[in-house]
Amino acid sequence: MTNLKNFKKIFPPNELPFRIFFNPDCMLHDTGFSYPECAQRLQSIIEGCLSLANKDFICFNYPPAASISQLTSLHPRDYLTRLETQCLQGREFFMSLDNPICPQTFDAILAAGGLAIALGNHLNSRKGGFALTRPPGHHAGIAKAEGFCFLNHAGLIERQIRKEYPKAKIFIIDFDVHHGNGTSDIFLEDNRIFYMSIHSSPKQTYPGSGHKDEKGERGGKGYTLNLPLPVGTDGDTWLKTVESNITEAISVFNPDFMLISAGFDAHVDDPFALMRVEDKHYLSIVSTLIAITETYCPGRLGIILEGGYSLDVLRHLVPEIISQLSAFYNRD
């Protein structure tokens, strides 16, 4: 890893409207040999950013780690202290065999939480950004770690927005190949959040939820839209499915904020090999989401990193998306 001091020379923090939120401590979470959710994922994204031809539009910010108190806006204190204790004790896993931990894991978790909080604040100031959150978050519940996730970053951003805009309506689109069961559960009864997820069939894929007939509960009924697709779905079908469903959902909901849970594990080159989405489809969906954001809530587009386990895909595609977003929002 290029050290942060040199990195800051190439990407000095500045005041451009669209910002990339990054904390190298997110790489302290060591998951062991050849584990798919690894520190090299972030390293690959950073390497890709360093080799971008035009860096003028790219604006990195380096927010501090979150405090435990800040995280209690969403997660119970006893869950957080149990997590911290078990990391420091040198335990191997926390709550699930999918969640290996090491003594520094809690530092990485606080760093990632800090990125989510910074992005929430930035969205409140009518600007957008991309938080390079690791470990990822969309499988984490309020007091439940699973699927590589410990904190729910979409939930933390929602809490941060809510502090300034108690009635804000937030549209979350989750295009990770796995259903974001944590995010879905948190907002299941909430009609101020519209959660739309496109993912691989729950009959064949972890976490086994996200069926088409799960549409939200009680007051939140009609505010969850699941778009499961069979394993092996190609990128054209994936893109068409998002585009043909999002327009109506969003025009009815009329959001104040747009949030993308961006996982890149539906990519044809991802080792999970669940779908065949290509670079061009991701770039196209990001263009669509930029256009939608400009129509409904100009500038307020927040992106958080979820899954995606091909280091090569992360190295070239995420920086390209960062370029695309930065060139659009930082153009003036």
Stretch that binds Zn ion, among 151-159, 189-197, 225-233, 257-265 (CB under 5 A): 257-265
Q: Which two tokens stand for residue 294?
A: 């400009």
Shortest distance, position 42 Cβ to Zn ion, whole Å: 16
Of the candidates 75, 138, 139, 178, the residue annotated as catalytic is 139
Q: Which residue, chain included where needed, has tokens 């930035």? A: 122
Single out the residue of 37, 176, 190, 270 in contact with Zn ion (rule: CB under 5 A): 176
Shortest distance, position 179 Cβ to Zn ion, whole Å: 9
Q: Which residue, chain included where needed, has tokens 């992106």? A: 303
Single out the residue of 114, 235, 263, 302 in contact with Zn ion (rule: CB under 5 A): 263
Q: Does 41 bind Zn ion (CB under 5 A)?
A: no
Q: Which residue, chain included where needed, has tokens 């009635």? A: 167
Strand partners, 277: 267
Shortest distance, position 218 Cβ to Zn ion, whole Å: 28
Q: Which is nearer to Zn ion, 154 or 297 (CB)?
A: 154
Residue of minimal Cβ distance to Zn ion = 307
Shortest distance, position 129 Cβ to Zn ion, whole Å: 21
Q: Does 265 bind Zn ion (CB under 5 A)?
A: yes
Strand partners, 225: 196
Q: Where does the chain have alpha helices with state H? A: 4-10, 40-50, 68-71, 77-88, 105-124, 153-164, 181-186, 235-253, 279-296, 311-329
Strand partners, 217: none
Q: Does 307 bind Zn ion (CB under 5 A)?
A: yes
Per-residue buried b or exposed e for 230-242, using 16+ beta carbons within 10 Å of the residue's own CB: eeebebebbbeeb
122 is annotated as an active-site residue = no
- Which residues are marked as active site? 139
Could you list the residues that contact Zn ion (CB under 5 A)? 176, 178, 263, 265, 307
